[in-house]
Chain A
Amino acid sequence: MYDQTRTTTALLQGLHNVENAEAWASFYGRYVPILIGVARRLGLSEADAQDAAQETLAAFVREYRQNKYDRERGRLRSWLLTILRTRVAQQYRARAVRKEEIGVTRLGGMPDERTASDAWEAERRRAILLQAIDELRKVSKTSDQSIQIFEMLARDGRSAPDVAEEMGLSAQDVYRAKSRVAQRLREVVTRIESVYDEEE
């Protein structure tokens, strides 16, 4: 599990030190899932998306250590997305070449900024939510049963009476469990959100 407490600003400072493996791992852990998600949304296959995300981060850290990262020219997010969009466009082109071998014309260019940035928002939010529920499962005092109830309601979209029946509980119990989990999750989400500070 990577560091969930340090702000993005702090992580970026840590990256300056080549030896600081921990900062790199945390940075990687925080942004790779988002970048993969964005790349998937931009049309890459899972394998290609993973490659693109890793190459993007590697390229970023390289430039960052060469002091090319300039806050004034845009925040971390737009920096990363610019690199990623270039990678995605390369993938498009590679595919186009493969297609041309079989005589079909190429379509598509660089994915546009707005789409990428929307995808980033959605993926970041998703990453935070998944991380929050993960944390709840692993480290909190919240009971397994409550989490299970929450997942049945949220993921499976089932009704409270339905869940109550299956779990052998009263509907009241189910509502209470849901409220408990929702409250805990909200706290965790707020905390995690705060580490994505203005640097991003």
Chain B
Amino acid sequence: MGAPGNGGMSDETLAALASGELDDPALAAVVAGDPELSARLESLRGEHELLSEFGEALRSGHDVAPMLDEQIPGYRLEREIYRGGQGVVLAAYQQSTKRDVAVKLMLDGALASETDQARFDREVELVARLRHPNIVMVHESGRTKRGRRYVSMELIDGVRLDEACRELCGGGAPATAEQAAKVVRVFVPICEAIAYAHRLGVIHRDLKPGNVLVAGDGRPVVLDFGIAKIAGTKAGTTKTGDFVGTLAYAAPEQLGKTPELVDTRADVYSLGVMLFECLTGRRPGNMEGMSLADTVRAVTEDDAPRASSINPAVSRDLDAILRRALERDPGRRYQSAHAMREELERALIGRAVRAREGERLYLATRFVARRKAPIAVGAALIALGMVGAWFGYRGSIRAAEARGAGAGLRLALEFVTGYEYETRDTAAGAELEISDRLREVSEQVEAQLGAYPRYEAPVRTSLGLAFLGERELEDAERELREALRLHRTLGGGDSPELASAMHNLGRALWFRAKLEEAEAVYRDALAMRIRLFGREDLDVARTTHHLAATLHLAGDFGESERLWHEVIRVRRELLPADDADIANALLGYGHLLPEAGRATEAVEPLREALAIIRSKGIENDWRVARVTAELGSCLDEIGQHEEGERLLRESLAIKRVHPDRRSEALTAFQLSRALLAGDGATAEGRSLCDDALGVLSALHEADYPELVSGRVLLARYMLADGEGEGALAIADAALPALRRRLGGEHWQVAEAEIVLSESLEAVGRSDEAAEAARRALKILAAQRPDEDRLVREARRALARSSEG
């Protein structure tokens, strides 16, 4: 690389900057600060784009060599279907299976390096595992007789997604809410297909209307999973034409400096662009006629316009969904394609979409709209209040009630039923007007409902649960606490609603780790539910479940275990043997036992939980990941390292696809721990631990127990790698933190004592080492059997330090 001299810069350096091969912010800053260099760079960029375009034109001239001359054993190649930048798709007949298939032949140069080819093979292997009605089935891959790579797959007879959507809407963008709904209905299975692939660890990376075909029966089918972006990743950064088309659907992070950080959320963005286009007839950035450079700039810098500003047939709900899907920051987008699908479904049936939960008033309107029957009377009262206000009647409520009850009730009912009617059947314009009116009313809800706790309480509950769903915990706690307070003011002793209010507040408290208060609220809720419903009741079991989990977290293993038994007993009695709630309880129970040093006993319930989940056809999903992590960890604990490690790896692979980095980090710890126990201190184990620490430190305060015990694990690795001093420092700092957060008798404190003992021994302080080991043994003796792994470790540490 030509070094920047005194303000000068070599052509080579500038050319590398222009082509993107060199990405150096410092150099870029130098260039930006110098008008002459900036101008030169701009012109080099132009040249580079032109050069790439010519390259493609010249090359594709060579590639027009007829692919039909290729031969693949077992196939008869029939005709070309499509010719794109990376390959040609042929219709073919597979003789062995007697079926029509599509064969994609990769063009020369599409897979330039050996790494690309290896990645391509791996990706095909992954994609071939996908089995979903809305994903094209990949059969196999291989090489033609001349050595060209091919992939064979299901042949779909359909039209491009955008074309299909236009057909649904009479040839253009949707003109009515009805037509918009038709488009959304096409997208629901597409989102689900993408979510399914994500669960199996496959990211599409190149979603665009040309990669989704809608078959004659209306079934959308997603093509080219994962394959497209491997082929031509290198060339792809410079191509125009095909590539600009693709660019418009790429998430900002795919075009940024770190495309390797792209995860499943990039596909969510692409889904958003496609939906936007199908609903409005243009793409959010409208790239037509823009140069490559401008397109990149638009994608990485501009915010998407409101879809409804382009097409008034798009509802505000869809607007909000699109805005959420098209967030530049992946962290603010829907975190999964599944979440987006749920939102689209909510929008279709007129339920509150989460994307609008920030809008508090909106929630109230949706609540009113949805609970029209029970709320009608409440709405009547609100309307009454409004009528009163409008006409200047500011007397007592009673007086107002008496005066306007009839008119107010009619107004309220008209407004509620009118809303129902309008949203179902009329065009967007009318709906907008109605929802504006609703919004006005909902403002009054805030002001007027204060006097009517009976009606305010359910609104608060609804808001609180909505916040909880979004993990806006502080807001959730506030709303649910207020709801409970309002229920209490109603008086009247036990009621299912009051019990629910307590249970709900318990959940918010649990999430906020306010365990003591959560325990108290759950106990009250449980007692009330038992009084109301008896013991054999699913709501009672639910509260028991939550209380058991709370006690487990608080370290009261004895009572927690008793409660888990109770939950499992009641659910087994009332539910089918393979109900998911039974699996959940088994998981909770199986999660508790190892912490009490009884990993052996946990294996059976965990295996049963896994079997139940799998019996539902669920694979590679977070539920499976949770159980496999727990089971793997137990098996490892009791010496079955091989299966334990396998399950933990399985779990981690699934968790890596999900955007829950915390849970991923926790399983990384579990696997790292298992590797240390099984294979000793491997580099893999240590780096898993290191990375997980990085993730958790970004999420939690420094003395968060799981973070601290992660550091203790790192100390174990350091010990094995001969870094006694470092390990000692960690163990020293970890102990007080763990004691403070978990109490002095927790097994994790004992584990830290063991590591401290070994560290002290490693630096030659044997006396202190023996003391630490004795402290560990003392804690463990009271809770764990003799053959427990930690107990044995503590004894070994004691023996070693006593010898020394």
The answer to whether A122 and B241 touch across the interface, beta carbons within 8 angstroms, is yes
| A150 contacts the other chain (CB 8 A) | yes
B157 touches which one: A40, A107, A130, A171 (CB < 8 A)?
A107
Query: Given A45-B68, A108-B157, A171-B12 in contact, is the A122-B242 Cβ separation under 8 Å?
Result: yes
On chain A, the residues within 8 Å of B100 by CB distance are: 104-105, 107
5 closest A-B pairs (Cβ-Cβ)? A43-B80, A154-B55, A155-B58, A129-B57, A182-B47
Interface residues on A, range: 35 or more
Q: List 13 A-B contacts (CB under 8 A).
A: A40-B83, A43-B82, A46-B66, A104-B93, A108-B157, A114-B163, A125-B53, A129-B57, A155-B55, A155-B58, A157-B55, A182-B50, A186-B50
CA–CA, A112 and B159, complex, Å: 7
Interface flags for A84-100 (1: CB within 8 Å of B; 0: not) read 00000000100100010
| A41 contacts the other chain (CB 8 A) | yes
A179 touches which one: B47, B54, B82 (CB < 8 A)?
B47
Instruction: Give 12 new A-B contacts, CB below 8 A, not counting A46-B64, A154-B51.
Output: A42-B80, A43-B81, A44-B80, A99-B78, A109-B157, A125-B57, A125-B241, A130-B58, A151-B58, A155-B54, A155-B59, A157-B109
The answer to whether A182 and B66 touch across the interface, beta carbons within 8 angstroms, is no
| A5 contacts the other chain (CB 8 A) | no
CA–CA, A114 and B155, complex, Å: 20
Q: What is the distance, in angstroms, from B91's C-beta to the closest C-beta of chain A?
A: 7
On chain A, the residues within 8 Å of B15 by CB distance are: 160, 175
On chain B, the residues within 8 Å of A41 by CB distance are: 82-83
B residues 131-163 near A (Cβ < 8 Å) are 155, 157, 159-160, 162-163
| B125 contacts the other chain (CB 8 A) | no
Interface flags for A111-152 (1: CB within 8 Å of B; 0: not) read 011110010011001100110010000000000000000110
| B235 contacts the other chain (CB 8 A) | yes
On chain B, the residues within 8 Å of A115 by CB distance are: 82, 160, 163, 210
Which B residue sits closest to A92, measured CB to CB? B79
B residues 1-55 near A (Cβ < 8 Å) are 11-12, 15, 43, 46-47, 50-55
A residues 52-82 near B (Cβ < 8 Å) are none
Interface flags for A167-190 (1: CB within 8 Å of B; 0: not) read 000011001001100100110000
B160 touches which one: A99, A107, A114 (CB < 8 A)?
A114
The answer to whether A95 and B79 touch across the interface, beta carbons within 8 angstroms, is yes
The answer to whether A112 and B61 touch across the interface, beta carbons within 8 angstroms, is no
Which A residue sits closest to B102, measured CB to CB? A107
Interface flags for A30-53 (1: CB within 8 Å of B; 0: not) read 000000000011111110000000
| B555 contacts the other chain (CB 8 A) | no
B163 touches which one: A42, A112, A160, A171 (CB < 8 A)?
A112
On chain A, the residues within 8 Å of B64 by CB distance are: 40, 46
Query: Given A41-B83, A172-B11, A179-B47 in contact, is the A154-B58 Cβ separation under 8 Å?
Result: yes
| A192 contacts the other chain (CB 8 A) | no
Interface of B is mostly: helix
CA–CA, A72 and B54, complex, Å: 35
On chain A, the residues within 8 Å of B52 by CB distance are: 154
The answer to whether A133 and B160 touch across the interface, beta carbons within 8 angstroms, is no
Query: Given A104-B100, A122-B242, A133-B58 in contact, is the A45-B80 Cβ separation under 8 Å?
Result: yes
| B245 contacts the other chain (CB 8 A) | yes
| A83 contacts the other chain (CB 8 A) | no
| B311 contacts the other chain (CB 8 A) | no
On chain A, the residues within 8 Å of B245 by CB distance are: 118
On chain A, the residues within 8 Å of B58 by CB distance are: 130, 133, 151, 154-155
Which A residue sits closest to B58, measured CB to CB? A155
CA–CA, A171 and B1, complex, Å: 12
| A11 contacts the other chain (CB 8 A) | no
On chain A, the residues within 8 Å of B83 by CB distance are: 40-41, 43
On chain B, the residues within 8 Å of A45 by CB distance are: 66, 68, 79-80
CA–CA, A52 and B382, complex, Å: 71
On chain A, the residues within 8 Å of B79 by CB distance are: 43-45, 92, 95
CA–CA, A193 and B654, complex, Å: 52
Interface size on B, residues (CB 8 A): 42
| A153 contacts the other chain (CB 8 A) | yes
| A29 contacts the other chain (CB 8 A) | no
The answer to whether A171 and B57 touch across the interface, beta carbons within 8 angstroms, is no
| B60 contacts the other chain (CB 8 A) | yes
The answer to whether B163 and A113 touch across the interface, beta carbons within 8 angstroms, is yes
CA–CA, A42 and B88, complex, Å: 10
Which B residue sits closest to A183, measured CB to CB? B47
Q: What is the distance, in angstroms, from A2's C-beta to the closest C-beta of chain B?
A: 19
CA–CA, A83 and B568, complex, Å: 70
Q: What is the distance, in angstroms, from B216's C-beta to the closest C-beta of chain A?
A: 9
B51 touches which one: A40, A104, A150 (CB < 8 A)?
A150
Q: What is the distance, in angstroms, from B277's C-beta to the closest C-beta of chain A?
A: 11
On chain A, the residues within 8 Å of B54 by CB distance are: 129, 133, 150, 154-155, 185
The answer to whether B235 and A157 touch across the interface, beta carbons within 8 angstroms, is yes
Q: What is the distance, in angstroms, from A166's C-beta to the closest C-beta of chain B?
A: 16
Q: What is the distance, in angstroms, from A170's C-beta to the closest C-beta of chain B?
A: 10
The answer to whether A126 and B51 touch across the interface, beta carbons within 8 angstroms, is no
Which A residue sits closest to B241, measured CB to CB? A122
Interface flags for A7-42 (1: CB within 8 Å of B; 0: not) read 000000000000000000000000000000000111
On chain A, the residues within 8 Å of B81 by CB distance are: 43, 108
The answer to whether B55 and A112 touch across the interface, beta carbons within 8 angstroms, is no
CA–CA, A118 and B43, complex, Å: 28
Interface flags for B469-499 (1: CB within 8 Å of A; 0: not) read 0000000000000000000000000000000
Which B residue sits closest to A43, measured CB to CB? B80
On chain A, the residues within 8 Å of B55 by CB distance are: 153-155, 157
On chain B, the residues within 8 Å of A46 by CB distance are: 64, 66
CA–CA, A130 and B53, complex, Å: 11
On chain B, the residues within 8 Å of A150 by CB distance are: 51, 54
The answer to whether A112 and B12 touch across the interface, beta carbons within 8 angstroms, is no
Which B residue sits closest to A133, measured CB to CB? B54
CA–CA, A41 and B82, complex, Å: 6
Which A residue sits closest to B49, measured CB to CB? A182
Which B residue sits closest to A114, measured CB to CB? B163
On chain B, the residues within 8 Å of A126 by CB distance are: 56-57, 60-61
The answer to whether A153 and B57 touch across the interface, beta carbons within 8 angstroms, is no
On chain A, the residues within 8 Å of B155 by CB distance are: 107
Q: What is the distance, in angstroms, from B219's C-beta to the closest C-beta of chain A?
A: 15
B residues 696-716 near A (Cβ < 8 Å) are none
Which B residue sits closest to A153, measured CB to CB? B51
CA–CA, A40 and B60, complex, Å: 12
On chain A, the residues within 8 Å of B78 by CB distance are: 95, 99
Which A residue sits closest to B156, measured CB to CB? A107
Q: What is the distance, in angstroms, from A100's C-beta to the closest C-beta of chain B?
A: 12
B91 touches which one: A108, A112, A178, A179 (CB < 8 A)?
A108
Which A residue sits closest to B166, measured CB to CB? A114
On chain B, the residues within 8 Å of A182 by CB distance are: 46-47, 50-51
Q: What is the distance, in angstroms, from A50's C-beta to the closest C-beta of chain B?
A: 12
CA–CA, A114 and B241, complex, Å: 15
B residues 109-144 near A (Cβ < 8 Å) are 109
On chain A, the residues within 8 Å of B66 by CB distance are: 45-46
The answer to whether B51 and A112 touch across the interface, beta carbons within 8 angstroms, is no
Among A43, A153, A179, residue most surrounded by chain B Cβ atoms (within 10 Å): A43
Among B61, B155, B235, residue most surrounded by chain A Cβ atoms (within 10 Å): B61
On chain B, the residues within 8 Å of A113 by CB distance are: 163
Q: What is the distance, in angstroms, from B160's C-beta to the closest C-beta of chain A?
A: 6
On chain B, the residues within 8 Å of A40 by CB distance are: 64, 80, 83
Q: What is the distance, in angstroms, from B185's C-beta to the closest C-beta of chain A?
A: 21
Q: What is the distance, in angstroms, from A111's C-beta to the closest C-beta of chain B?
A: 9
CA–CA, A157 and B58, complex, Å: 11
Q: What is the distance, in angstroms, from B77's C-beta to the closest C-beta of chain A?
A: 11
CA–CA, A40 and B65, complex, Å: 11
Q: What is the distance, in angstroms, from A18's C-beta to the closest C-beta of chain B?
A: 34
CA–CA, A115 and B89, complex, Å: 14
The answer to whether B12 and A178 touch across the interface, beta carbons within 8 angstroms, is no
Query: Given A46-B64, A108-B91, A154-B52 in contact, is the A160-B235 Cβ separation under 8 Å?
Result: no
CA–CA, A121 and B241, complex, Å: 8
